[in-house]
């Protein structure tokens, strides 16, 4: 039995994704852009300076304008609700449901604005930021005229929920989505393991640092 456990552990560890070296070089001085993982306890999101990715985002009058933009993805009914209950949670967990993307505009340092949350700062390249911007842009749901649609008011000042592509269901969680966004930068994170925000934070700290 112990030998079997060792084999299983070795298989899992061998499946950990390493850095994409063309996007995420080992030399820290070549990585000049900061990206932030923000963990609110239940779910994690990702933030970056807006100037680096705004050219990839869809145009909409309600799209927040600020120094930083934070993104999160999740269930279309549960995520925007400020007063969620058990059954809404179970619906989000067990049934494939429509999704939304939450965009928050921030004009303070990320760690100050989200002072009650855990914030991890990671240095990436401009090319990595571009890939992340393209990934996020592709997650906005568009109509036949290529327009995006507001789904609900945001949870913060200067924030909004837009309709998003993809169905939400377990284990396809908001945390895995955030890990996928970070992975697009070339960072050595394995989205498959990022079921919880705690795991996103743990993997982010492999080569990142606490900003709090």
The answer to whether residue 11 is domain-embedded is no
- How many residues are recorded in the chain? 212
Domain membership flag for residue 7: no
Strands (E) located in 9-129: 33-39, 44-49, 68-75, 97-106, 118-124
Cα-to-chain-centroid distance, residue 38 = 8
Asked if residue 154 belongs to a domain, the reply is yes
Rounded alpha-carbon distances, angstroms, from residue 168 to 91, 103, 116, 149, 173:
10, 17, 26, 18, 7
Mean pLDDT of 131-150: 94
Residue 72: inside a domain = yes
- Identify the sign of the CA torsion 140, 67, 63, 84: positive
Q: To the nearest whole number, what is the mean pLDDT of the chain?
A: 87
Taking the C-alpha atoms of residue 146 and residue 140, their distance in angstroms, rounded to an integer, is 10
Return the pLDDT at 9.
Answer: 44
- The domain total for the chain is 1
Q: Is residue 132 in some structural domain?
A: yes
Residues 149, 141: contact at Cβ < 8 Å? Answer: yes
pLDDT band at 130 (very low <50, low <70, confident <90, very high): very high
Q: Residue 16 domain-assigned?
A: no
Least confidently predicted of 78-92, 117-131, 144-158: 78-92
* b/e per residue 127-149 (b: at least 16 CB within 10 A): ebbbbbbebbeebbbeeeeeebe
Handedness of CA 129, 134, 139, 142 (dihedral sign): positive
Per-residue pLDDT of 90-123, as tens digits, reads 444 555 579 999 999 999 999 999 999 999 999 9
Token pair recorded at residue 11: 């298989």
Strands 209-210 and 44-49: unpaired
Would you say residue 118 lies in a domain?
yes
Q: Which range has the top average pLDDT, 58-62, 164-168, 170-174?
A: 58-62
Q: What percent of the chain has pLDDT over 70?
A: 84
Asked, for residue 36, whether it belongs to a domain, the answer is yes
Closest CA to 178 of 163, 152, 158, 197: 197
Surface-to-core class of residue 188, CB atoms within 10 Å of its CB (0-12 exposed, 13-18 middle, 19+ buried): middle
CA neighbor of 80 nearest in space, from 195, 163, 188: 163
pTM for the predicted model, two decimal places: 0.86
Find the domain containing 88 and state its range. 31-210
Q: What are the tens digits of pLDDT across the range 48-86?
A: 999 999 999 999 999 999 999 999 999 988 788 755 544
């Amino acid at each position: 039995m112990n030998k079997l456990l060792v084999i299983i552990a070795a298989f899992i560890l061998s499946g950990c994704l390493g850095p994409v070296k063309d996007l995420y070089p080992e030399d820290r001085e070549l990585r000049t852009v900061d990206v932030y993982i923000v963990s609110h306890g239940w779910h994690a999101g990702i933030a970056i300076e807006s100037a680096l990715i705004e050219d990839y985002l869809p145009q909409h009058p309600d799209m927040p304008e600020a120094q930083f933009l934070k993104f999160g993805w999740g269930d279309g009914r549960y995520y925007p609700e400020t007063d969620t209950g058990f059954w809404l949670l179970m619906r989000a967990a067990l049934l494939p449901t429509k999704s939304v993307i939450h965009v928050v505009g921030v004009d303070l340092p990320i760690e100050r604005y989200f002072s009650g949350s855990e914030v991890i700062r990671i240095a990436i390249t401009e090319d990595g930021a571009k890939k992340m911007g393209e990934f996020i842009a592709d997650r906005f749901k568009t109509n036949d005229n290529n327009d995006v649609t507001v789904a609900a008011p945001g949870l913060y000042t200067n924030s909004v929920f837009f309709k998003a592509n993809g169905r939400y269901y377990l284990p396809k969680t908001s945390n895995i989505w955030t890990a996928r966004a970070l992975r697009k930068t070339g960072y050595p994170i394995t989205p498959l393991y990022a079921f919880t925000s705690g795991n996103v934070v743990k993997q982010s700290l492999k080569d990142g640092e606490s900003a709090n």
